[in-house]
Amino acid sequence: MSETLSISFEPVDNARLANLCGAFDEHLRQIETALEVSIARRGEHFSITGEQAGLARDVLERFYLEARHDITLERLQLGLIESMKRNLPDAQSESVPLLMTRKAEVRGRTVRQNEYLQAIQEHDITFGVGPAGTGKTYLAVASAVDALQREAVKRLVLVRPAVEAGERLGFLPGDMAQKVDPYLRPLYDALYDLMGLDKVAKAFERGMIEVAPLAYMRGRTLNHSFIILDEAQNTTPEQMKMFLTRIGFGSKAVITGDVTQIDLARGQKSGLNDARIVLKDVRGIAFQQFLAEDVVRHPLVQKIVSAYERFDGKHHD
């Protein structure tokens, strides 16, 4: 039910108000879009209308406290996502250990992300399945970096199916690094963000981090390693079995993918879908399913994912 609430920030602090509202009131527009409210402002007085007016008021109050300094758009959007998650009926205040990376804090921002981190800590093999933007890969890489920093493992091995439906690397130009780089770029990006460019470069030189296409895992046994298989929906059942049987002593594996984004040839079974059926009752393996509400990107991304899910649901019934 729509309601209208008022809020005033007194005594007047124009610098704080400017940081809160953003250039040309951009921050207010972000809050309006994310929470589907209308915000009218006259100086330090705000009027908020909409079903989530109370939540919008809480967000304004929270960020006014932080507005001694400039508020970046990324910080605002993450704060909006966190506020929206806390407002869900099943929201929990779980205590999940912060991961040891160069970032000030890396933790789950939704209940399912926290469950995912817990599953990774407690199981040797964990599957993270769900739509883009839910943090599957990033949190897996963060867990791997944390394990490396704490010396729980000796190296990280980050793996992807290199080319859709068959990994035909020979047809691509350049040497091996140039051939696989475009497919592994998201893993590099996460590493750089979590460790910093210099540390990543040194870790590669020392062999502590390896990034490789799935085709090059055959015949290997990986001991004391943290292994991540990303984009696993584009593996075949044979490739998935091959990957899972590479895991040796003292190792952990996380397999991530989105079963709505399969690029395999028509009629080809996905190894990720197959594994969810074959391994569902195997003790020691965890499966974490993410939903649209777990998306932690621009607040509009969650709405886009939900809209597509509703559309697909109607047209497949």
Q: What proportion of the chain, given as a percentage, has pLDDT over 70?
A: 85
Instruction: Give residue-wise pLDDT tens across range 260-274.
Output: 888 888 888 999 999
pLDDT at position 109? 79
Which residue type is seen at 17? L
Query: Is a pLDDT exceeding 90 seen at residue 20?
Result: yes
The pTM of the full predicted model, rounded to 2 decimals, is 0.67
Query: Is a pLDDT exceeding 50 seen at residue 64?
Result: yes
Instruction: Give residue-wise pLDDT tens across range 106-160.
Output: 778 788 998 999 999 989 999 999 988 888 999 999 999 999 988 899 999 999 8
Structure tokens at 60: 């304004």
Structure tokens at 266: 């028509």
Domain annotation for the chain: domains and CATH numbers: 3-86 (3.30.1370.10), 111-316 (3.40.50.300)
Give the Cα separation of 281 and 147 in Å (integer): 27
Asked whether the bond before 11 is cis by omega within 30 degrees of 0, the reply is yes
10 Å CB burial of residue 214 (0-12, 13-18, 19+) is buried
Beta-carbon contacts of residue 179 (< 8 Å; ≥ 6 apart): 162, 169, 172, 173
Residue 107 main-chain phi, psi, to 5 deg:
-155, 170
